[in-house]
Amino acid sequence: MAYPPLPEDEKLSLPSRVYQALKQGILSFELKPKEYLITGEVAKAYGISRTPVREALILLEKEGWVKLQGVRGAMVAWPSRKTISEAIQVKMVLEGFVIKEAIRTLNEADIQELEKILAESEVALEAGDIQGSETIGSKFHTYLQEKVGNMVLRAIFEQLQDQIDRVRPLIWRRNREMIQESALQHRAMLAAIKNRDPEKAEQLVYQHAVWFEEQVIPSMIPILD
């Protein structure tokens, strides 16, 4: 099994670097659901002892990324459909609040920045870079969160996003029409922002979340069943 490379930031402890590498592998589907992470094999792949690998696996289990299998190692965990649905639903409510709050404070420079994000995402999609387009497009929501400036809310978003990011590749890799539809929905949200229409913007956020849930849950069935 191939493992993602360790982060080059040597300021991080070795267990932290192993943790980040394995977590990235899980998010990117390089390390697939229900695959086993054997402590000795991971240690050998990274040219390190088993101790930092064990520490990394313990941290990953605490966050729900793996299930420990004794001293042997761990198995890559997989969230239930209920867990993902609940994360999407909570995120929907919070993003509705965020976009309404942001509309009250965004200036013209902020709106131009949102326009730039969506334009770059569309250029990447046109070039065939589906993953790049999705990554850039997700900055639309992140930018709005930053402008609201609520750090407690931001921390909650990050926890929810971690769960959702685990299954996002299942739909984005199916076809580019999914990304195109998402881009159109973001454009509609931006139009509502430009029109200073918080109710419309909130409604569009809800519709976007419902659409996403309808796409992602069926995609999870082959892995869960």
More confidently predicted of 177 and 181:
181
What average pLDDT does this structure show over 188-216?
A: 93
List the beta bridge partners of residue 47: none
Domains and CATH numbers, the chain: 14-76 (1.10.10.10), 81-224 (1.20.120.530)
CA distances for 159 relative to 16, 152, 206, angstroms: 18, 11, 19
Report the C-alpha gap between 147 and 139 in whole angstroms: 12
Is residue 38 within a helix (H) or strand (E), and if so which, with residue range? strand 36-38
Report the C-alpha gap between 57 and 211 in whole angstroms: 34
Res. 21: pLDDT tops 50: yes
Q: What is the pLDDT of residue 225?
A: 46
Q: What is the pLDDT of residue 178?
A: 80
More confidently predicted of 36 and 167:
36
Query: Within 13 Å, how many C-alpha atoms sit on residue 141's CB side?
Result: 24
Res. 224: pLDDT tops 70: no
Contact 73, 37 (CB under 8 A): yes
Report the C-alpha gap between 45 and 35 in whole angstroms: 16
Number of C-beta neighbours around residue 103 at 10 A? 22
Provide the angle, in degrees to the nearest 10, between the axes of the packed helices 176-194 and 108-126. 160
More confidently predicted of 221 and 170:
170
The pLDDT tens digits of the residues spanning 74-120 come to 999 887 788 888 888 999 999 999 999 999 999 999 999 999 999 99
Q: What is the pLDDT of residue 172?
A: 59
Q: What is the pLDDT of residue 179?
A: 82
Residue 136's φ and ψ, nearest 5 degrees, are -65, -45
CA distances for 133 relative to 173, 178, 213, angstroms: 12, 11, 19
% the chain with pLDDT above 90: 55
Q: What is the pLDDT of residue 218?
A: 72
Residue where the block lists tokens 């069935």: 221
Number of C-beta neighbours around residue 127 at 10 A? 10
Q: What is the pLDDT of residue 52?
A: 95
The confidence band for 14, taking pLDDT boundaries of 50, 70 and 90, is: very high
pTM of the model: 0.73
Please give the structure tokens belonging to residue 51: 């101790």
What average pLDDT does this structure show over 43-66?
A: 94
Number of C-beta neighbours around residue 67 at 10 A? 14
Query: ∠ CA 149-117-210 to the nearest 5 degrees?
Result: 75
Res. 10: pLDDT tops 70: yes
